[in-house]
A and B are shown apart, each in its own frame.
Chain A
Amino acid sequence: MELRKFIKDFADQFDDTDASVIQADTVFHDLDEWGSLVGMSLIAMAKTQYGKTITGKEIRECITVKDLFDLVSSK
């Protein structure tokens, strides 16, 4: 798993947030567009693109995009 690709895949889940503002250290909960539907998209993305199962609770415990990457990597 590559961090740069993960960040791009993560950024793809947003419609109105410019991909350039999403970096490894971005606190994603603070993004205006972040919400439960994007969280659900992230769960689906982890499953379809990485074959990993993550939960809403685990996502809530992450702070930065890098934390999400580590979460999915650890599965």
Chain B
Amino acid sequence: MNYNPFSLEGKTVLVTGASSGIGRGVAINCSRMGATIIVSGRNEKRLGETLSLMEEGEHAKMVCDLTITDDIVQAVQALPKLDGVVHCAGIGQRIPAKLLQEENIDRVVSANFKAPVLLQAELLRQKKVNKAASIVFIASIASWSPSLGNSIYSASKGAIISYANCLSLELAPRQIRVNCISPAMVWTDLILADGTDAEQLKEDEKAYPLKRYGTPEDIANLAIYMLSDASAWMTGSNVNITGGAFYS
């Protein structure tokens, strides 16, 4: 019996932020499902580490700082046609609202909102996105679940969700689907931003109904579903994946 609607065989998928965290997990697990992956990130060495953890295949690297707009055009030119894109690149920040400076806003909004939007625009302009492809944005429950010091990060994720909603309408005529994943806390370097320490988080983790934070693999499995033909009727959705955690 070969029935497997979740297979990514024959699909070529670009994964940004693939040098660590959720992006790395997505790249590895999608390769296990048969996809050919282009891993994108700033650090060539760490991208190489991701590649070494992936199933063998015709995978490639795209070394690029996506916050440098001029670099995006060239990087996209070198890409093959894509059946999927997973926008994972992003940064965290914890600064109380009272202390925010312009540079704090620019840094986070540039990485978490402006960069994926401009990359997506360039991919479409250069006709790199195949019909019936799937675009996935890693957002966050932070968009609706407030936490101390997280205002700009939360806003940047809310912005990408709103953007993705509109993009899903614009791409629907070509059967291209656009969805967001909103995880609660996932064990990556990002959640340790700005002096947050692991011990504190381990305490918080116990309050989750499933008694743990997520892993990159947990998120990767949802990304696989969204990239696969199993989710052919899903677009414009934002799926929370939280271990049962529901903040209010």
Contacts and interface: CB of A to CB of B under 8 A. Distances in A.
Interface of A: 36-37, 40-41, 43-45, 47-48, 53-57, 59
A25 B99 CA distance: 26
B200 interface: yes
Contact of B96 (A44, A53, A56): A44
Interface stretch (B7-15, B57-65, B176-184, B191-199): B191-199
A55 B197 contact: yes
Of residues A44, A54, A59, which shows the largest number of chain B Cβ atoms within 10 Å of its Cβ?
Answer: A44
A27 to B, nearest CB: 21
B94 interface: yes
B149 interface: yes
A50 to B, nearest CB: 13
Contacts of B200: 56-57
Nearest to A47: B194
A41 B98 contact: yes
Interface in B95-128: 95-96, 98-99, 101
B148 A44 contact: no
A40 B95 CA distance: 7
Interface of B: 94-96, 98-99, 101, 148-149, 194-197, 199-200
A41 B195 CA distance: 11
A53 B148 contact: no
B194 A43 contact: yes
A37 B197 CA distance: 15
Given A40-B96, A45-B99, A55-B197, 13 more contacts: A36-B148, A37-B148, A40-B94, A40-B194, A40-B195, A44-B95, A44-B96, A48-B99, A48-B101, A54-B195, A55-B196, A57-B197, A57-B199
Nearest to B103: A48
A53 B195 contact: yes
B196 A56 contact: yes
9 contacts: A37-B96, A37-B148, A40-B195, A44-B96, A44-B99, A47-B194, A56-B200, A57-B199, A57-B200
A36 B201 CA distance: 13
Contacts of A36: 148
Given A40-B94, A40-B95, A44-B96, A55 B195 contact: yes
Contact of B194 (A37, A44, A57): A44
Smallest CB-CB A-B distances: 5 pairs: A57-B197, A43-B195, A55-B195, A40-B149, A55-B197
